[in-house]
């Protein structure tokens, strides 16, 4: 599912604005069988949405200041999700720039959305978006072209201390907006 999400367009309605980003980098978190997953120790108030039916958005707050967003992927009770680590801005760059507080003279658009918390800030995703139904109209996915396997690269996941052997990070090779 993580691979499938690459290349999809994520649409976010924000007031009268529409923000669109193409997903270029993701990480899979495999519930109770993955020690790096929030769901590893079972269902709690925080990770509850991870255990919902697939097609919901799991948003969590971390490091005291950042939000990160995941697409829940399995049936009710399983607890697996895909973290969206980076998107390529397709529409609404002016709004993203404002949300991120980037100075007007900043030319490097990579700073807009290359990282899970940057993406959330650019798209205005926060606490209240946790549990959003992706079949609704506020946040949804549009399948565009399929990214061929030859353009997808896999690596170890980033920022974790356990489960580092698994290569469950997937990204589009040579895309400028993949994080580092």
Partner DNA sequence: TAGTTGATCGTCT
Partner DNA sequence: GACGATCAACTAA
Distance CA 58, CA 110 (A): 24
8/50 with CB nearer DNA = 50
Q: Judged by CB under 7 A, which of 5, 23, 37, 169 binds DNA? A: 37
Distance CA 1, CA 148 (A): 14
CB of 136 to DNA, least distance (A): 21
50 in contact with DNA (CB under 7 A):
yes
39 in contact with DNA (CB under 7 A):
yes
Q: Distance between alpha carbon 164 and the CA centroid of its chain, in Å?
A: 19
Q: Which residues contact 87 (CB under 8 A, 6 or more apart)?
A: 10, 21, 22, 23, 24, 113, 119, 177
- Three-state helix/strand/coil letters over 42-53: CCCCCCHHHHCC
Strand locations in 32-126 (E): 57-62, 66-72, 80-91
Q: How many residues of this chain bind DNA (CB under 7 A)?
A: 36
CB of 137 to DNA, least distance (A): 24
21 in contact with DNA (CB under 7 A):
no
Distance CA 26, CA 45 (A): 24
Report residue 31 as tokens: 């519930």
Interaction with DNA in 94-113: which residues (CB under 7 A)? 100, 111
92 in contact with DNA (CB under 7 A):
no
57 in contact with DNA (CB under 7 A):
no
116 in contact with DNA (CB under 7 A):
yes
Stretch that binds DNA, among 6-14, 114-122, 131-139, 146-154 (CB under 7 A): 114-122
Interaction with DNA in 67-86: which residues (CB under 7 A)? 68, 70, 81, 83
CB of 76 to DNA, least distance (A): 17
Backbone angles phi, psi at 108, to 5 degrees: -85, 95
Q: How far is CA 41 from CA 32, 45, 67, in A?
A: 7, 12, 21
Q: Which residues bind DNA (CB under 7 A)?
A: 27, 29, 36-39, 41, 44-47, 50, 58, 61-66, 68, 70, 81, 83, 100, 111, 115-119, 157-161, 179
């Amino acid at each position: 599912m993580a691979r499938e999400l690459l290349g999809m367009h994520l649409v976010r309605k924000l007031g009268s604005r529409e923000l669109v980003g193409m997903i270029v980098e993701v990480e899979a978190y495999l519930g109770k069988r993955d020690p790096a997953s929030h769901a590893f120790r079972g269902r709690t108030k925080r990770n509850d949405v991870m255990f919902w039916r697939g097609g919901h958005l799991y948003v969590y707050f971390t490091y005291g200041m950042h939000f990160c967003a995941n697409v829940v992927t399995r049936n009710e009770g399983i607890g697996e999700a895909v973290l969206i680590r980076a998107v390529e801005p397709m529409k609404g760059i002016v709004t993203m720039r404002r949300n991120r507080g980037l100075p007007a003279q900043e030319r490097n658009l990579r700073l807009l959305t290359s990282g899970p918390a940057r993406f959330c800030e650019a798209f205005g995703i926060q606490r209240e978006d946790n549990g959003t139904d992706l079949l609704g109209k506020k946040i949804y996915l549009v399948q565009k072209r399929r990214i061929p396997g030859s353009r997808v690269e896999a690596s170890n996941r980033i920022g974790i201390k356990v489960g580092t052997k698994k290569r469950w990070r997937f990204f589009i090779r040579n895309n400028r907006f993949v994080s580092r």
